[in-house]
Structure 1
Amino acid sequence: MRIRRLQTAVVATAAGALLVTVAPAAQAVSPVRDSAPTIAELLKDCGTATDYCKFTPTGTSTFFTAPHQVALVYNCSSVAQNKTVSWSDSTGGSNTVSTEISVTAGFDFLSKFEMGFKQTYGQTWTWTDTFTNQDTLTVPAGEVGWITRETKMHSASGTYELHYGSPHWGHYIWYVNNFAGTAPVPQEAGVHMYGSRKMTPAEKGICGSGSGTFPGVPKGSPYIPGIPITHGGPIVKHGR
């Protein structure tokens, strides 16, 4: 493939990344329009319409999400009780083009991102992850017990390099700079906390006339705003 390096053009897109074009075609008309492509158009071509496509990370970091509820139990009895709760928590990732291309869409550029991250940092990247666990908590009589989780996340940014076999948008080679992705660190417990609070009159109705065991309630049932929460302390804590 002959490449004539005549100029370098930088195009800013609405998504905030930069598309840098190099090596314009020596002759002939591009088989696609000559105006600049969108980031999504280029990434959809990665590994399918290109001869070469690679993602090279340039930086990474980790952080924890805000606490979110993963389990809720009611103690309808007149004495404190211990309860072992099984729960699962699913977390999805995002990236520069998430609003246009789902992270579960199966496009090759997503796997190129995973591969580049693994090769550079020796760590696994997955765009979605489900973590399952069991925790035991003590819930006082007539109270609601809950478990929260702070999910450990990581992010990475870098550059895609795409080579076409023929001129596309007037060029053989395109770069997508400043592409960024965020996803859960796979199978990391994160930080779990538990606590309890008094039931509201409406919640006491859940207990009915039963014997006072722990009836189940849907995952994600919200706290009642304005009611003090007594924290029981950490169940699991690591990664900080």
Structure 2
Amino acid sequence: MSYAHHRARRAGALALLLAGGGLVGGPSAQAEESPPTDRELLAKCDNGTKKCVFHPTGGLTITPGEDHRVGDLAFNCTEDDQTSSRAWEDTTGETNTHKVSLREDFETEFLGFIKIFKASFEQSFTRTWSSSHTESQTTFINVPAGHVGWVTRAPKVQKVEGTVELIFEDRFEGKRYWYVPFEATGPAEGEPSVKTQRSRPMTAEERGTYCA
């Protein structure tokens, strides 16, 4: 048998082995699966977990929120100081790190987590978590001559941060224990907002528009 004929027979046998899976190749690189997102984990809280708990870190913080104008501007086009009344209504909402609404009537996907969070919050701080609060009032503004006046409001907000601990009966995405950091800010019920009267001289354009 010639050398060329022998090589041809070996090549044919190798092809048959490869086609039939007789040879095992080296390990191939497999893309690692991405871990579940924090929102996906929060959706599993009390909805597939053996245990789900929110652990607050530290105490509750109550501070004035962002100061912003409420109601219409009051223009004083006279040469005397004036007092003007302005009726206004302002709503303070909530924010959190994972953009989850904590209103039970709005959410279904995170309903288990919402109930766990609120129960832990009330037990830890003897306060109620509120997702929205609306305040309305009529404010009297003292506006100097030739000035424009307005009212600003800084609502009191409560802030809490902590960790959501999720324990699964069976492994979920390879693990039985998962931890999700969570921070939320919302209106502090029963705490008065900070309202401030402000004024400044009118611009020439404002005089031409409102005092002509």
**With structure 1 as the length reference, what TM-score do the two structures score?**
0.61
Counterpart position of 2:70: 70
Deviation digits for residues 82-140 of structure 1, max 9, x if unmatched?
22222122233322213xx4556622223432221111101122233322222212223
Does the C-alpha gap of structure 1 residues 127 and 114 become closer, same or farther in structure 2, counting only changes over 3 Å? same
SS at structure 2 position matched to 1:48: coil
For this pair of structures, how many residues does the alignment match? 174
Answer whether contact 1:34 1:169 (CA < 8 A) is retained.
Answer: no
Instruction: Look at both structures and tell me which one has the larger radius of gyration over its CA atoms.
Output: 2
Specify every segment of 5 or more residues in structure 1 that has no aligned partner in the other structure, as ranges. 1-32, 210-240
> 1:86-101 counterparts in 2 under 5 A?
86-98=87-99, 101=100
Aligned-pair distance for 1:187?
A: 5.0
Specify every segment of 5 or more residues in structure 2 that has no aligned partner in the other structure, as ranges. 1-31
SS at structure 1 position matched to 2:205: helix
Q: Which amino acid aligns with 1:64?
A: P
Whole-Å separation in 1 of the counterparts to 2:206 and 2:172: 62
SS at structure 2 position matched to 1:43: helix
Q: From the two aligned structures, give the one with the greater strand fraction.
A: 1
Whole-Å separation in 1 of the counterparts to 2:64 and 2:164: 27
1:143 and 2:147 correspond: yes
Cα RMSD (Å) of the superposition? Answer: 2.7
1:188 and 2:191 correspond: yes
Deviation digits for residues 134-161 of structure 1, max 9, x if unmatched?
2212223332111112222221112222
1:152 and 2:156 correspond: yes
Q: From the two aligned structures, give the one with the greater helix fraction.
A: 2
SS at structure 2 position matched to 1:161: strand
**With structure 2 as the length reference, what TM-score do the two structures score?**
0.68
1:134 and 2:138 correspond: yes
